[in-house]
Structure 1
């Protein structure tokens, strides 16, 4: 049984250096995630890391495809991404709006394009039977009408917080702002109660930094810029050496985010059986 991972963290968006919609904490997140995976039993040489200009669309897709394709029954694999997220319109062949795709932004997204959830699904659907896959996203899955964040502290002073969200193009933003008319709104079974989301059709477990209606944030954590979600995810995994059920991990991250006053709620999805199993097993 092998344990392997692909870890992606992007601070520097094209062009290289100053000029892109850069972030500050994503490479720190990638480093912490890789080190945490080693603590959880992943051999260092089995972890592939892509950061900044190496995290192109082509490199991310090819490495993820290889990770999935070469996995065998009993293996445990992880795909982790820390960077900008966005939403793009899914236009049908007859210019009918099918809905909105969540997407991540590789280093060269401005020229190569984003990586849509449909593209990930096409890769992950080829996962061999019996392979354990955990997908972890520390990015914004949507912003619900958010254009700019007025980031100030309790005294009204600017903070170093940043939303990991790329503003969509006008055409995407238009459909996004009217999304309630275009897509079915899923209601939580228990309002006000934090729950994992069970999906019987999933062949993997998904850990998202926030709900689709929220943005994921990064900020100063002990003098180092970090993603709030990844900081708490790694903290729990290191404390337990990864010996924790996915549902319990979800709950502990949620409690930690709430305790620090973060304006985001993590969301975990998967089959009931897998959510009740120990992660990375």
Structure 2
């Protein structure tokens, strides 16, 4: 049974750089090795200039190809998100989707990785694979909400692209979220609600994403080390609130996945070996504090 992790961290955005994303994935990689029985060869990092659209798709191919029941798979993305609307061949705005932003993202369709693109990629994952997708980013925000003590992980659309999104809003086109990309064998953790912002912050003079920082802090604690994700995430929400971050992470997934520890642990050999998951289970949203 295989372990695989693809960890993507991008600080080097032209015009709207971030600071903590590379630290996020380095910290996650170390945690996987020390606490989740992953080997270094099981983990691939993709950062900054190498985290292009083509580079991300290439590594996704490695991550998702040849999987079988019992494999443990993690996709962790730390970087900007945004909202992207497309036009059809007649020039009409036809949709509104969450998008992650590769380092070469330029607001063209070719350089956007939309929720529908990820949905197509994730559809190949076999039943019984333990797949966790962490998105430390956000898909709403602006640059005019006053002076914050932290940056936000939302790439603000230029005026022409914002017009498309506003047109989609006026047409009442539904938003296709990253959550909609996941399937019944995926636990999906987002940095915040769809109307909130995820923080790129500093802790003890070291930059990190707030979600990743408090997620790892919680997972490393003796109290929550082997607790189910459904119990871990409310603690993460509480720690964010205690430290004055307004974002509320959201956990979605089937019962059998969110009832497991985060990809197992070194002291939980049954989880580390790869659980046998039921063939089908209705996806359910875990309760988090508002």
TM over 0.5: yes
Structure 2 matches for 1:55-70, cutoff 5 A? 55-70=51-66
Consecutive unaligned residues in structure 1, runs of 5 or more: 14-18, 153-158, 187-196
SS in 2 for 1:248: helix
Structure 2 matches for 1:1-281, cutoff 5 A? 1-13=1-13, 19-38=14-33, 39-92=35-88, 95-110=91-106, 113-143=111-141, 146-152=142-148, 159=149, 161-177=150-166, 179=169, 182-184=172-174, 202-240=184-222, 243-280=226-263, 281=271
Aligned mates of 1:117, 1:200 — CA distance in 2:
9
Q: TM-score, normalised by structure 1?
A: 0.82
**Kindly tell me: are residues 181 and 133 of structure 1, through their superposed partners in 2, closer, same or farther at Cα, counting changes over 3 Å?**
same
Aligned mates of 1:247, 1:253 — CA distance in 2:
11
**Kindly tell me: are residues 128 and 204 of structure 1, through their superposed partners in 2, closer, same or farther at Cα, counting changes over 3 Å?**
same
Q: 2:8·2:25 contact (CA, 8 Å) conserved in 1?
A: yes
What is the root-mean-square deviation of aligned Cα atoms in Å? 2.6
Consecutive unaligned residues in structure 2, runs of 5 or more: 264-270, 272-290
Aligned mates of 2:255, 2:170 — CA distance in 1:
28
Superposed structure 1 runs of 4+ greater than 6 Å apart = 197-200
**Kindly tell me: are residues 199 and 104 of structure 1, through their superposed partners in 2, closer, same or farther at Cα, counting changes over 3 Å?**
closer
Aligned mates of 2:242, 2:128 — CA distance in 1:
37
| CA deviation profile, 1:197-235 (whole Å, cap 9, x unmatched) | 999953311110011111111122111111111100111
Q: 1:199·1:272 contact (CA, 8 Å) conserved in 2?
A: no
Aligned mates of 1:267, 1:92 — CA distance in 2:
32
Aligned mates of 1:57, 1:236 — CA distance in 2:
32
The structural deviation recorded for 1:54 is 1.1
